Amino acid sequence: MPDKPDKRSRNDHNALSVFTDLCHETREALGAMQQLVRFPAGQAITREGEEINFVGIVASGILRMQKTLTDGRHPIVGLLVEGDIFGQVFDGATEVAIEAATDTEVYAFPRGRFETLMRRSPELDRAVLLNILNELDRTRDWMVILSNAKIVNRVAGFLLIMCTRFVGVEHLVQARRDGIEVNIPMSRLDQAHLLGTRPESISRALHALAEAGDIIINTPNRILILDTGALAERVGEEDLCSITNLKNLLANKELLS
């Protein structure tokens, strides 16, 4: 278990909301072993190549996953948000570094005890597998966005993915009468690392989208999306068809209400 950040025991089942099909016995076992661990923004949870001794579920905040390239760059390759599971179950060292992008709370389960429970609980094993498959789907979504050569189009796709990725997090995505308000929980530098560009390019792209009437910049990180369809056109309709969550968002804005 992590030993540097502040932590306290929890006997409730708040962390178990991501496991909807577990039997009572399995839920009780998970509830008995979980701990709530706090990580301040910027703190490393695990470094690339290290073994992580717990399985985590994000309770609040944002974690970023980073990969070291041969040229020394450390691009962000993914984000973990509320309800996401992380940790190398039945495996060795992690292939990415995980760091708190914001102040974050994580429910942590001792890896050994979690793995033992998985061996005797097929429904828990299935839940973890589904989480892994969901993460792969999200990775493919990011690849679609990053394949766009124009930075303004990558930013448009990023805003749309924010809507789908954080749709259940009320303080980050909210439906308004005139659009969808997104509170980006990342610094400009993190956004640039995620989208493969520079912070100033992110700012220019947002202003270009605002000048086109697609968005309103209320604050640097609080964006009101006025026209999701226009953003989708920038990503490319053919590319958009491969992202089910974005299609659902455009077809059914009531998901956000």
Q: What are the pLDDT digits (tens) for 35-85? A: 999 999 989 998 888 888 899 999 888 898 888 777 777 777 778 888 888
Looking at 3.40.50.2300, 3.10.270.10, 1.10.10.10, 3.40.640.10, the CATH number of the domain 147-256 comes to 1.10.10.10
pTM of the model: 0.74
Q: CA 185, CA 80: separation in Å to the nearest integer? A: 12
Q: Is the pLDDT of residue 27 over 50?
A: yes
Domain boundaries, the chain: 7-136, 147-256
Least-confidence region, from 27-31, 40-44, 159-163, 243-247: 243-247
Q: Is the pLDDT of residue 213 over 50?
A: yes
Q: Is the pLDDT of residue 125 over 60?
A: yes
Q: CA 255, CA 218: separation in Å to the nearest integer? A: 23
The CATH code belonging to domain 7-136 is 2.60.120.10
Q: Is the pLDDT of residue 177 over 60?
A: yes
User: For residue 250, what pLDDT is reported?
Assistant: 53
Q: Is the pLDDT of residue 244 over 50?
A: yes
Q: Considering only residues 243 and 185, tell me which one the structure prediction assigns the higher pLDDT.
A: 185
Q: Give the burial string for 155-192 (b: 16+ CB within 10 Å, else e).
A: bbbbbbbbbbbbbebeebbbeeeebbbbbbbbebebbb
User: For residue 237, what pLDDT is reported?
Assistant: 53
Q: Please give the structure tokens belonging to residue 156.
A: 């448009």
